[in-house]
């Protein structure tokens, strides 16, 4: 099977926890959402344990590890606290993301090129533990080369700028961003890296990204969880899956 045969959907359930935490209640439960997503056809679940625990909690990660039969993609900053948690759970995949306390969401990709040595050192025990290590980066050749040199299995391309330009109606800029994503997906694949993509994807923006033959996984959360308010979680996921399949042809 070639890379282009498969396009997985990872559903990010962080924002179920955001709603729960807004009231300090025990519901809605992100583990329950993850199980519904799994039944609706998600190929994996993504959860970001932030340093400030603003959405997903340590207990949620315990619950996800115990309950899921699809792989967990554990997003985390490159800190020793997160490394310890990842090594305790050994999830299927660990995606290293940049994290700033004041940001509302992950704003940019990781500066792998600047921190190559420390990141190589940081991911080594995760690779030894058998986790698939993914690095969340902008569509930038320097970052891809650095991710490749440190031994990551996967790069996840940040689609946030492409989605923002689309939402603003800045279609020229959106198309330039899509061109970069297209070229860099192909470049990373040529190096032997597995290519994922995500951030900000919606029903309106998913098709051109899903159509990139080198992309093997999309991680999508905020839009799906928002859409679930109107149509329910299972139909919201199934529609995303349908659009991905249609784009893939």
Question: Which residues have a catalytic role annotated?
Answer: 48, 75, 199
Does 221 interact with ligand PXP (rule: CB under 6 A)?
Answer: yes
Binding residue (CB under 6 A) for ligand PXP from 30, 56, 75, 119: 75
- Fill in the DSSP letter of residue 72: E
Which positions from 172 to 211 touch ligand PXP by CB under 6 A, shown as an x/- string?
--------------------------xxxx----------
Binding residue (CB under 6 A) for ligand PXP from 222, 234, 238, 248: 222
Please tell me the distance from the alpha carbon of residue 150 to that of residue 214, in angstroms, as a whole number. Answer: 21
Does 156 interact with ligand PXP (rule: CB under 6 A)?
Answer: yes
CA proximity to 7, closest of 237, 137, 196: 196
Binding residue (CB under 6 A) for ligand PXP from 220, 233, 237, 240: 220
DSSP H helical ranges for the chain? 14-23, 30-39, 58-67, 80-89, 116-128, 141-149, 160-168, 171-190, 206-210, 222-231, 233-248
Q: Taking CA 29 as the corner, what is the angle to CA 11 and CA 205, rounded to the nearest 5 degrees?
A: 25
Does 216 interact with ligand PXP (rule: CB under 6 A)?
Answer: no
Which positions from 118 to 137 touch ligand PXP by CB under 6 A, shown as an x/- string?
------------------x-
Binding residue (CB under 6 A) for ligand PXP from 9, 14, 146, 147: 14
Compute and round to an integer the Cα radius of gyration of the chain: 17
- Fill in the DSSP letter of residue 213: T
Residues that bind ligand PXP (CB under 6 A): 12, 14, 48, 75, 95, 97, 105-106, 136, 156, 198-201, 219-223
């Amino acid at each position: 099977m070639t890379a282009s045969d498969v396009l997985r959907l990872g559903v990010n359930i962080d924002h179920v926890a955001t709603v729960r935490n807004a009231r300090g209640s025990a519901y809605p439960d992100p583990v329950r959402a993850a199980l519904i997503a799994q039944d609706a056809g998600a190929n994996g679940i993504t959860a970001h344990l932030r340093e400030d625990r603003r959405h997903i909690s340590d207990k949620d990660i315990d619950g996800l590890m115990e309950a899921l039969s699809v792989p967990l993609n554990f997003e985390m900053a490159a800190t020793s606290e997160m490394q310890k948690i990842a090594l305790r759970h050994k999830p299927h995949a660990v995606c290293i993301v940049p994290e700033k306390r004041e940001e509302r969401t992950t704003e940019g990709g990781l500066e792998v090129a600047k921190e190559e040595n420390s990141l190589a050192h940081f991911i080594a025990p995760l690779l030894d533990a058998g986790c698939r290590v993914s690095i969340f980066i902008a569509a930038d050749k320097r970052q891809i080369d650095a991710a490749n040199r440190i031994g990551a299995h996967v790069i996840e391309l940040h689609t946030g700028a492409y989605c923002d330009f689309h939402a603003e109606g800045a279609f020229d800029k959106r198309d330039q961003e899509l061109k970069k994503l297209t070229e860099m997906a192909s470049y990373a694949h040529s190096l032997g890296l597995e290519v994922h993509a995500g951030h900000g994807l919606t029903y309106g923006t998913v098709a051109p990204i899903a159509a990139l033959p080198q992309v093997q996984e999309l991680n999508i959360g905020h839009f799906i969880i928002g859409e679930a308010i109107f149509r329910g979680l299972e139909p919201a996921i199934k529609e995303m899956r349908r659009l991905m399949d249609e784009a893939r042809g």
